[in-house]
């Protein structure tokens, strides 16, 4: 049995002090703070920048500070424009780092400032816009792009020129560039081109000359470098046996003998060595073409060399350094094993994510089953190739270290303390495989009020199963009402009813076992379309379900939100219907819109103030009021640190209000204003207290009974502020009703619930 247990805190530089924000499960984040939880294992390029070594990855940028021995992450929260990085290069002359993102955005990091150049990203062209590599010559950065060459002026932080060097000035995929100080050389998909570096008219494609005497002159050539008065190039050989490296010396092209026959990912030289990165090795060659320093690796793609130390970017292991053969020190920020987040689960101080994915038609992608665990501000993970496509996880309410993972085809995986404790399939449970394929397709699971685990089992005769508290399993026929190919997530309501998503335009299913699992005579179940009051189908394409604090069921569809305000009537009323929320425009027109009526809603979570956090497929995250009529926030990747507008799941920590948002680019969290209300005023406190003159954030009164009235007065009894708590927490900006900051003094905070039966008074010192 092949299994991998990854403790990122061990693998990722146990000798280093990792300088990243942590501890947010314990409420240390400030109101409005964002925190990324990304995997930095898929490294793409490294760049030595004085005392720093930068690593560009699939999830963003980090650097190792050789003086302080720390790892530091730069994210969108710090001002970076995007996430996925394709290329980086450092200018020692200007002391700045040029970043080329996968979406063709460009950033320049200079000291503590970040300058964005979005021109290529915004440009509408039909060609491939990928930024493959970056060559820096003095104050100019030459970007090798999928359509040609873009020149960036590093002093002015702007694009200077664009060179289209293909046939008749057409698009041409340029993979890499180099210079000998006189000529520019471009390795492209259709050969190697050269042009005079000092030619002032390189925009004219006629000034770019194809080198025709190189072997395979039509290309493709993927890497190129100039060193020791020689031009080295790598040819991407389409035939078996690996790529070729050639070098030109005194006008003659020669074969370069590689350590292995494999793909060549990177060739770069300086006055001391030639670096060649192939499928299994990073090698530093001497001027005599001897392999002087060789590092074996799992999947290296890029490397740099400094004073006898290799710095390697590996697309599986992240970045590491190696001062001698075989010795590796991994330098990777702690994070999940991958950036995939399909399901999030939270209980007390433990957060889990499942990394899996299905096709839009609910087909398999066969990704390794992966569980990531966030405990005491550190990530660890477990993944196995024997069970794949784990798409949902549930935490045992009686044991936060006990997690059940639903897979689409491989049964139910049981985890204890992060380790796989077993797998349930047709041999040891009531779960069933599809007759034609034997795939045990489980769409989701949920624990009920009695701590029994309910599981959806698609495409079989008995599509609902339960694992009882005694460990015994039972399945239900349900009169054939759920014999459909797709079954998704399942929720358990306050009435102990189960609601099930039926994907692929099949609507919803509800069942009630009346608290007696083994007595099927009193069971009730109903498969139903999502219709309006007139019986017209609104949409049967369902992607999300949530029960709010008023016991209403909120449904996410491809036509926005539908709400069932009396969900227990599902078994009693033939005219059972849902309602769309109509939001007035309040612009004097008298018109109104359906809440998110044009959006595909993929996730719904309810916070302590009964507000709804709504994730969409393409438009980011919305926070709306408890009734859905007011938009409180709308976060997108363009106007916030949100990683992506494609949301996969949302979970909220009721104790501290942190909202965990899963996206197709990874996990991020946001410290919100609402928490779950307390039963009594047993632990009320204000922070910060005192509030000093230079503090600009929110003042938080927390530990409150739910939704109390909070009044703040000066010592003379004059009310300066009044609000209703958001669940168990109230927020004050330190200003009076007039909008001015209040004066220095002691302020009284009076908290009272609606009927006046519970009250509390605390004090706050403000220093202005």
Q: Which among 499, 528, 557 is the end of a domain?
A: 528
**pLDDT at position 18, please?**
37
Q: For the segment 707-723, what is each residue's pLDDT rounded down to a tens digit?
A: 999 999 999 999 999 99
CB 676 within 8 A of CB 727: yes
Residue with tokens 């969290």, as numbered in its chain: 669
**pLDDT at position 21, please?**
34
579 and 609 both lie in a single domain = yes
Of 69, 77, 36, the closest CA to residue 53 belongs to 69
Asked if the model's pLDDT at residue 440 lies above 90, the reply is yes
- The torsion angle over the Cα atoms of residues 748, 32, 607 and 372, rounded to 10 degrees, is -130
β-pairing, 70-74 vs 17-19, is: parallel
512 and 569 both lie in a single domain = no
9: enclosing H helix or E strand: helix 8-11
CA 702, CA 550: separation in Å to the nearest integer?
22
Kindly report the CATH number assigned to the domain that includes residue 741.
2.60.40.3080
Asked if the model's pLDDT at residue 257 lies above 60, the reply is yes
660 and 713 both lie in a single domain = no
Residue 240 lies in a domain: no
Residue 108 lies in a domain: no
Asked if the model's pLDDT at residue 1 lies above 50, the reply is no
Q: HEC string of 403-467?
A: EEEEEEEECEEEEECCEEEEEECCCCCCCCCCCCCCCEEEEEEEECCCCCEEEEECCCCCCEEEE
CA 351, CA 720: separation in Å to the nearest integer?
39
**pLDDT at position 28, please?**
56
CA Rg value for the chain: 30
543 and 495 both lie in a single domain = no
CB 397 within 8 A of CB 347: yes
CA 182, CA 161: separation in Å to the nearest integer?
19
User: How far, in Å, are 262, 269, 499, 560, 574 from residue 532 at the CA level?
Assistant: 61, 68, 18, 14, 13
Asked if the model's pLDDT at residue 26 lies above 80, the reply is no
DSSP assignment of 12-24 equals TTTTSEEE----G
Residue with tokens 């590599």, as numbered in its chain: 133
Kindly report the CATH number assigned to the domain that includes residue 555.
2.130.10.10
User: How far, in Å, are 245, 403, 509, 540, 601 from residue 533 at the CA level?
Assistant: 71, 40, 19, 15, 21
573 and 635 both lie in a single domain = yes
CB 725 within 8 A of CB 753: no
Residue 578 lies in a domain: yes
Q: For the segment 724-756, what is each residue's pLDDT rounded down to a tens digit?
A: 999 999 999 999 999 999 999 999 999 999 888
Provide mean pLDDT across the span 409-438.
93
Of 580, 588, 544, the closest CA to residue 561 belongs to 580
**pLDDT at position 2, please?**
36
Q: For the segment 661-689, what is each residue's pLDDT rounded down to a tens digit?
A: 999 999 999 999 999 999 899 889 999 99
Residue 354 lies in a domain: yes
Provide mean pLDDT across the span 476-490.
87
496 and 558 both lie in a single domain = no
Residue with tokens 């992608």, as numbered in its chain: 365
Q: Which among 655, 676, 697 is the end of a domain?
A: 676
594 and 648 both lie in a single domain = yes
SS3 assignment, position 623: strand
Residue 476 lies in a domain: yes
**pLDDT at position 324, please?**
67
403 and 366 both lie in a single domain = yes
CA 712, CA 714: separation in Å to the nearest integer?
7
488 and 608 both lie in a single domain = no
Q: Is the dihedral of CA 153, 157, 160, 161 positive or negative?
A: positive
Residue 33 lies in a domain: no
Least confident range of 361-375, 407-421, 471-485: 471-485
Give percent of the chain with pLDDT exceeding 90: 85
**pLDDT at position 14, please?**
32
Q: Is 724 exposed, middle or buried (0-12, 13-18, 19+ CB in 10 A)?
A: exposed
546 and 649 both lie in a single domain = yes
Q: For the segment 145-202, what is each residue's pLDDT rounded down to a tens digit?
A: 999 999 999 999 999 999 999 999 999 999 999 999 999 999 999 999 999 999 999 9
pLDDT band at 11 (very low <50, low <70, confident <90, very high): very low
659 and 541 both lie in a single domain = yes
Q: For the segment 56-108, what is each residue's pLDDT rounded down to a tens digit?
A: 999 999 999 999 999 999 988 889 999 999 999 999 999 999 999 999 999 99
119-128 LR contacts (CB < 8 Å, sep 24+): 119/159, 120/145, 120/150, 120/159, 125/171, 126/171, 127/171, 128/171, 128/173
343 DSSP β-pair partners? 354
**Cis peptide preceding 220, ω within 30 of 0:** yes
Provide mean pLDDT across the span 27-44.
87
Residue 572 lies in a domain: yes
Residue 363 lies in a domain: yes
Residues near 442 by Cβ (< 8 Å), separated by ≥ 6?
392, 406, 407, 408, 411, 412, 431, 455, 456, 457, 458
Asked if the model's pLDDT at residue 221 lies above 60, the reply is yes
Residues near 22 by Cβ (< 8 Å), separated by ≥ 6?
28, 377, 378
274-278, strands of its sheet edge to edge: 264-269, 274-278, 281-285, 291-296
SS3 assignment, position 493: coil
Residues near 14 by Cβ (< 8 Å), separated by ≥ 6?
none
Q: What is the mean pLDDT of the chain?
A: 92
SS3 assignment, position 480: helix
Of 535, 533, 480, the closest CA to residue 509 belongs to 480
**pLDDT at position 144, please?**
97
Rounded to whole angstroms, the maximal C-alpha distance in the chain is 94
User: How many domains does the chain divide into?
Assistant: 4
CB 604 within 8 A of CB 544: yes
SS3 assignment, position 119: helix
Asked if the model's pLDDT at residue 768 lies above 90, the reply is no
CB 352 within 8 A of CB 372: yes
Q: What angle do CA 342, 346, 348 make, to 5 degrees?
A: 170
Q: Which among 472, 504, 528 is the end of a domain?
A: 528
Q: For the segment 291-347, what is each residue's pLDDT rounded down to a tens digit?
A: 989 999 999 999 999 988 999 999 999 999 998 666 799 999 999 999 999 999 999
Task: Quote the domain boundaries for residue 358.
Answer: 1-11+334-424
SS3 assignment, position 10: helix
Residue with tokens 């200079």, as numbered in its chain: 110
**pLDDT at position 318, please?**
95
CB 518 within 8 A of CB 474: yes
586 and 506 both lie in a single domain = no
CB 751 within 8 A of CB 701: yes
CA 141, CA 286: separation in Å to the nearest integer?
28
465-473 LR contacts (CB < 8 Å, sep 24+): 465/429, 465/430, 465/431, 466/430, 466/517, 467/424, 467/429, 468/517, 473/424, 473/429, 473/430, 473/431
User: How far, in Å, are 173, 452, 463, 526, 605 from residue 478 at the CA level?
Assistant: 58, 19, 8, 9, 29
């Amino acid at each position: 049995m092949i299994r991998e247990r990854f403790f990122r805190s061990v693998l990722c530089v146990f000798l280093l002090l990792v300088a990243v924000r942590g501890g947010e499960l314990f409420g240390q984040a400030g109101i409005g703070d964002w925190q990324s939880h990304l995997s930095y294992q898929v490294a793409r390029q490294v760049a030595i920048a004085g005392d720093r070594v930068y690593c560009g990855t699939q999830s963003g940028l980090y650097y190792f500070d050789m003086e302080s021995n720390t790892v530091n992450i730069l994210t969108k929260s710090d001002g970076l424009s995007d996430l996925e990085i394709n290329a980086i290069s450092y200018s020692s002359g200007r002391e700045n780092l040029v970043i080329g993102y996968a979406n063709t955005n460009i950033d320049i990091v200079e000291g503590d400032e970040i300058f964005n150049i979005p021109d290529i990203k915004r440009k509408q062209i039909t060609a491939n816009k990928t930024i493959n590599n970056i060559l820096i010559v003095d104050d100019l950065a030459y970007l090798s792009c999928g359509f040609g060459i873009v020149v960036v002026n590093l002093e002015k932080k702007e694009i200077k020129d664009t060179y289209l060097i293909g046939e008749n000035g057409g698009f041409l995929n340029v993979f890499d560039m180099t210079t000998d100080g006189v000529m520019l050389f471009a390795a492209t998909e259709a050969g190697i081109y050269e042009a005079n570096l000092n030619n002032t008219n390189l925009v004219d494609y006629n000034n770019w000359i194809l080198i025709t005497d190189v072997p395979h002159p039509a290309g493709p050539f993927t890497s190129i470098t100039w060193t020791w008065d020689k031009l080295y190039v790598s040819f991407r050989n389409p035939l078996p046996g690996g790529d070729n490296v050639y070098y030109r010396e005194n006008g003659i092209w020669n074969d370069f003998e590689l350590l292995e026959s494999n793909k060549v990912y990177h060739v770069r030289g300086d006055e001391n060595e030639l670096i060649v990165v192939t499928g299994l090795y990073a090698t530093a060659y001497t001027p005599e073409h001897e392999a002087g320093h060789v590092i074996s690796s799992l999947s290296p793609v890029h490397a740099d060399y400094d004073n006898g130390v290799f710095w390697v970017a590996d697309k599986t292991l992240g970045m590491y350094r190696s001062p001698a053969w075989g010795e590796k020190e991994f330098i990777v920020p702690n994070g999940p094993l991958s950036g995939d987040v399909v399901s999030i689960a939270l209980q007390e101080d433990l957060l889990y994510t499942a990394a899996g994915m299905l096709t839009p038609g609910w087909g398999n992608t066969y990704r390794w089953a992966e569980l990531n665990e966030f405990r005491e501000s550190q990530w660890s993970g477990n993944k196995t190739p024997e069970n794949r496509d784990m798409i949902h996880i549930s935490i045992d309410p009686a044991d936060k270290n006990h997690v059940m993972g639903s897979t689409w085809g491989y049964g139910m995986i049981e985890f204890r303390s992060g380790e796989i404790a077993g797998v349930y399939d047709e041999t040891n449970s009531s779960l069933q495989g599809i007759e034609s394929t034997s795939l045990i397709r489980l769409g989701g699971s949920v624990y009920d009020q009695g701590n029994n685990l309910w599981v959806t089992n698609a495409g079989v005769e008995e599509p609902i199963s339960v694992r009882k508290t005694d460990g015994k399993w039972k399945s239900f026929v349900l009169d054939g009402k759920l014999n459909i190919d797709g079954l998704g997530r399942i929720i358990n309501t306050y009435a102990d009813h189960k609601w099930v998503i039926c994907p692929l335009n099949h609507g919803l299913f509800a069942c009630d076992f009346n608290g007696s699992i083994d007595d099927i005579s009193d069971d009730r179940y109903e498969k139903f379309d999502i219709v309006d009051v007139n019986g017209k189908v609104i949409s049967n394409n369902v992607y999300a379900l949530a029960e709010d604090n008023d016991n209403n069921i909120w449904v996410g569809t491809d036509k926005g939100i539908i709400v069932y305000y009396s969900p227990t009537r599902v078994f009693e009323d033939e005219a059972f219907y849902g309602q769309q929320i109509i939001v007035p425009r309040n612009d004097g027109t008298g018109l109104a819109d359906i809440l998110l009526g044009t959006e595909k809603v993929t996730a719904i979570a309810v916070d302590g103030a009964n507000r709804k956090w709504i994730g969409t497929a393409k438009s980011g995250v919305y926070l709306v009021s408890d009734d859905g009529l007011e938009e409180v926030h709308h976060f997108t990747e363009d106007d916030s640190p949100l990683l992506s507008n494609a949301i996969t799941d949302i979970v909220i920590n009721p104790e501290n209000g942190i909202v965990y948002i899963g996206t197709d680019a990874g996990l991020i969290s946001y410290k919100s204003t609402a928490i779950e209300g307390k039963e009594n005023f047993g632990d009320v406190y204000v922070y910060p207290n005192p509030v000093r003159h230079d503090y600009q954030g929110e003042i938080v009164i927390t530990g409150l009974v739910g939704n109390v009235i909070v009044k703040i007065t000066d010592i003379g009894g004059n009310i300066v502020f009044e609000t209703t708590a958001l669940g168990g927490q109230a927020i004050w900006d330190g200003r009076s009703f007039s909008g001015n900051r209040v004066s220095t003094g002691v302020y009284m905070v009076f908290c009272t619930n609606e009927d006046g039966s519970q009250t509390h008074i605390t004090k706050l010192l403000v220093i202005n």
